[in-house]
Amino acid sequence: MRLRSFGRLGWKASEIGYGMWGMGGWTGSDDAESLKALDRAVERGCNFFDTAFAYGDGHSERLLGETLRRNKGQRLYVATKVPPKNRVWPGKAETPVTDVFPHDYVLEMTRKSRENLGVERLDLQQFHVWSDAWAQDDGWKRAVERLKKDGEVEGFGISVNRWEPTNVLKALETGLVDSVQVVYNIFDQDPEDVLFPACERLRVAVIARVPFDEGSLTGQLRLDSTWPQGDWRNLYFTPDQLRASVARVEDLRPLVPAGSTMSELALRFILHHPTVSTTIPGMRRIPHVEANLAASDTPPLSLAELSALRTHRWQRDWRVP
Ligand SMILES: NC(=O)c1ccc[n+]([C@@H]2O[C@H](COP(=O)([O-])OP(=O)(O)OC[C@H]3O[C@@H](n4cnc5c(N)ncnc54)[C@H](OP(=O)(O)O)[C@@H]3O)[C@@H](O)[C@H]2O)c1
């Protein structure tokens, strides 16, 4: 597993990290299977884990806490997130920041996450939504400073709204934000334009999330794919959106090298960018862990492969949470 510098925090994070949303509450999750998958990832050299209080009201955090205790002695980086107080995704400029991330609430939720994880200090606490309209607010800034000063968190990051990669630039300029988590994959290439150069300049780490576009870029969705009632993916892959996604993926198929897979190509695309510190595929099963972590052993994409993939950028106007 190759390691990359995690911005100015100076950590050596595995370039393939671990996304822990699914195991917190998507239908079909099985805790025993998830825990085995997490252990396998640690054995294979994954050391960066992204969870959130909102992933099953602390459930995903507790699974990670168990994993940390079973793997004592390994340096595993824990990233979690403060949910918006009003529980509204995404963050909106017109919402007062006091409804979303008031000072005392940020401290309180950090304590709760530390308890779920069973740790004295979080490596990385992140805001789970953001609007740059809140950048100058004093409350969240004092909370971040206090958490860092008291040693409750080492770093602080922001997870930006889906498809709004520049809606964080003012916050980055405050100097308080050590990492940005952003949707970046073969379809969603916009972060390369403005956000990545800003992160380079300010030495802010980049966590590339949703590498498989919630599943389409695994190449395994079909026009008749369905999810049980209540599964979040029904909102992302409405019939029209599923049809459009499957068509885009079919266009990509000729670019998958012989003997490789669409999911491997998806990860290699993300890893080509030097500004990416780590990418965090969501995975709940050992075969997915094995396949995804192996992408770190593959050679870099050629310039010809990259330029072909660049033409698959896709700007969407869907309304999704
Ligand atoms: N607002 C935010 O901050 C936010 C929003 C979204 C995501 N995230 C973070 O980003 C992480 C990744 O995003 P995501 O989990 O939503 O979506 P994703 O990583 O794009 O896709 C996850 C899906 O791909 C499947 N999969 C994984 N590896 C595979 C492989 N090799 N072959 C076939 N299928 C494979 C998973 O199956 P199994 O689960 O069955 O293994 C799951 O259904 C999340 O887990 C979370 O940590 C953060």
Whether the model clears a pTM of 0.85, i.e. scores above it, the answer is yes
Q: What is the pLDDT of residues 159-214, one digit of tens each?
A: 999 999 999 999 999 999 999 999 999 999 999 999 999 999 999 999 999 999 99
| β-sheet bridge partners, residue 205 | 179
Ligand 1 pocket member 308 (CB < 6 A)? no
Whether the per-residue pLDDT at 244 is higher than 90: the answer is yes
> If you take atom 13 of ligand 1, which residue's CA is the nearest one?
210
Ligand 1 pocket member 260 (CB < 6 A)? no
- 151 CA → ligand 1 middle, Å: 30
Give dist(CA 285, CA 274) in Å, integer: 28
> If you take atom 23 of ligand 1, which residue's CA is the nearest one?
215
Q: What is the pLDDT of residues 19-76, one digit of tens each?
A: 999 999 888 899 999 999 999 999 999 999 999 999 999 999 999 999 999 999 999 9
Ligand 1 pocket member 157 (CB < 6 A)? no
Residue 51: in which H helix or E strand, if any? none
Ligand 1 pocket member 90 (CB < 6 A)? no
Give the residue among 135, 184, 156, 119 at the shortest CA–CA distance from 8.
156
pLDDT band at 241 (very low <50, low <70, confident <90, very high): very high
CB contact at 8 A, 209 and 182: yes
Ligand 1 pocket member 245 (CB < 6 A)? no
CA distances from residue 300 to 84, 268, 296, 314 in whole angstroms, order as listed: 38, 7, 9, 23
Percent of the chain with pLDDT over 70: 100
The mean pLDDT of 104-126, rounded to a whole number, is 98
